[in-house]
Amino acid sequence: MPLDTFSRPGRFFRGNLHTHSTLSDGALEPGEVCRRYAAEGYDFICLSDHFLGRFGYPVADTRPYRTNSFTTILGAELHSGRMQNGELWHLLAVGLPDDFQPPASNGFAPEDGQESGPEIAHRARDAGAFVAIAHPHWSGLTMDDARSIEAAHAVEIYNHGCATGCDRGDGFVCLDLLLSEGKRLTAIATDDAHFTEPDHFGGWVMVRAEENSPEALLDALKEGHFYASQGPELRGIEISGSTVHVESSAVSSVIVQGQGSAARATHGHSMTRTAVDATRCAESPWLRVTVIDAAGRRAWSNPIWRDEI
């Protein structure tokens, strides 16, 4: 995370990058999905329906649902090829153009001769999309799988639908191991909402941009100017020597994590300005911050690379 994220011009906009509608396997029409997120106080969403032949390869046109206070980014969840466990790839493409060339992926089962996951990820990034590895725990993603997606910008480190539906909502192991191999990836939290169970309004990103427009939001996502949350707010992070200073909404724990076992936590009550002695993380090339409030809800910074400070 660039440390100027909290001081750069603009403000934070709340958005969900992963959700579904009746254009694929969701329960609600696209307009109703947008209405519900807007009513819940979100500033934007990406409706990411499954880009499969059985659904007509949809890139949902959500432009009619934009207002002066709510916007949408076009996108889709891409599928093509086999992962090592034999299942189909799931890759999130935010900012995907509506004329993106479909792969030969008809359903949720992989088929011989399909474009691979790494190949479709590269095509999506080349087309201008912000690409994320979706729900690695739910998918049974191996580290070899994860390494192969060289076009990824991010890893989905919290997926509320997967947490609700099968208690496999996290992606931290995947992210941290990739970071420790030098992969400069960011971390997103999402809903993956289908509105068939309580899978909505549980995880989001807070994106720092000068305006709530698809173009400005997409640029900020690619540049890493955001953090992920289930509720708490991050308001500032500074590093001074071995101490990490964190400003936030009221939380009970602030944790600084690094490579391997490197981590240090400070605990208390209603902490809003917290200093964490991160000496134990001194040899780690990267750091990230987690805050936890009294209700157990978390917010996560993007990785901070020491050579970029």
Given a cut of 80, whether residue 67 has pLDDT beyond it is yes
| Cβ-contact 157, 175 below 8 angstroms | yes
Tell me the pLDDT tens digit for each residue of 231-290.
Answer: 999 999 999 999 999 999 999 999 999 999 999 999 999 999 999 999 999 999 999 999
The three-state secondary structure class of 170 is: strand
CA distance 48 to 58: 9
- The secondary structure of 28-52 as a DSSP string is S-HHHHHHHHHHTT-SEEEE--EE-
Angle at 26 between CA 20 and CA 31, to 5 degrees: 65
* pLDDT for the residue 28: 98
Longest Cα pair distance anywhere in the chain, in angstroms? 56
Tell me the pLDDT tens digit for each residue of 141-152.
Answer: 999 999 999 999
Q: First-to-last CA distance in the chain?
A: 10
The 8-class DSSP code of residue 88 comes to: B
Q: What is the pTM of this model?
A: 0.97
Domains, the chain, in order of start with CATH, read 3-229 (3.20.20.140), 234-308 (2.60.40.10)
State percent of the chain over pLDDT 90: 98
* pLDDT for the residue 1: 60
Given a cut of 70, whether residue 2 has pLDDT beyond it is no
Nearest to 20 by CA among 67, 75, 64, 101: 75
269, amino acid identity: H
Given a cut of 80, whether residue 184 has pLDDT beyond it is yes
| Cβ-contact 182, 226 below 8 angstroms | no
Given a cut of 90, whether residue 309 has pLDDT beyond it is no
Q: Would you state the structure tokens that stand for residue 92, as one six-digit string?
A: 């999130």
Phi, psi of 50 (to 5 degrees): -65, 120
| Cβ-contact 145, 83 below 8 angstroms | yes
Adjacent-strand bridge partners of 263: 257
The 8-class DSSP code of residue 216 comes to: H
Residue 265's CB is within 10 A of a number of other CB atoms, namely 13
Q: Tell me what the mean pLDDT of segment 56-81 comes to.
A: 98
The H-or-E segment that residue 27 falls in is none
